[in-house]
Amino acid sequence: MTAVKTYRDLIAWQRGMNLACEVYRLTARFPKEEMYGLTRQVRAAAVSVPSNIAEGQARGSKEFRHYLAIALGSLQELETQLLLAERLTFVEQGHIGPAMELAAEVGRLVRGLSNSLAEHR
């Protein structure tokens, strides 16, 4: 296993970036009148995930766990907003699946990373 030199080496960050890109592609289908409503909120939540992973990694292990918790909160927010968008038929039924699967994967990775930091205290 190679040592982590930067946040870009973290699989959780890499998958978080993939998630943010997927969310941008998905929200491009939202109604134009939602650009400053749900579209903006969904995108902000998605961007928050890798951003908090990166910021936390730069701050050291104690604060890192705090930022990972924020990233998890943003993931829950994102999932809720995607489910709402589906209910409001902003996207066709089932089209949020890939983003939801990525969100679940990122959640597992972030929780695993947080647990490993707790073990190395």
Query: In which residue are the tokens 């209910």 written?
Result: 87
pLDDT surpassing 70 at residue 121: no
Q: Please, are residues 77 and 44 in contact by the beta-carbon 8 Å criterion?
A: no
pLDDT in tens, 64-117: 999 999 999 999 999 999 999 999 999 999 999 999 999 999 999 999 999 998
pLDDT surpassing 80 at residue 1: no
User: 29 is written with which tokens?
Assistant: 């289908």
pTM given for the model: 0.93
Domain ranges of the chain: 8-119
Q: CA torsion, points 74, 65, 15, 50, in degrees to nearest 10?
A: 60
HEC string of 40-70? HHHHHHHHHHHHHHHHHHHHCHHHHHHHHHH
pLDDT in tens, 9-42: 999 999 999 999 999 999 999 999 999 999 999 9
Cα(11)–Cα(15) distance, rounded to whole angstroms? 6
Q: Classify domain 8-119 by CATH number.
A: 1.20.1440.60
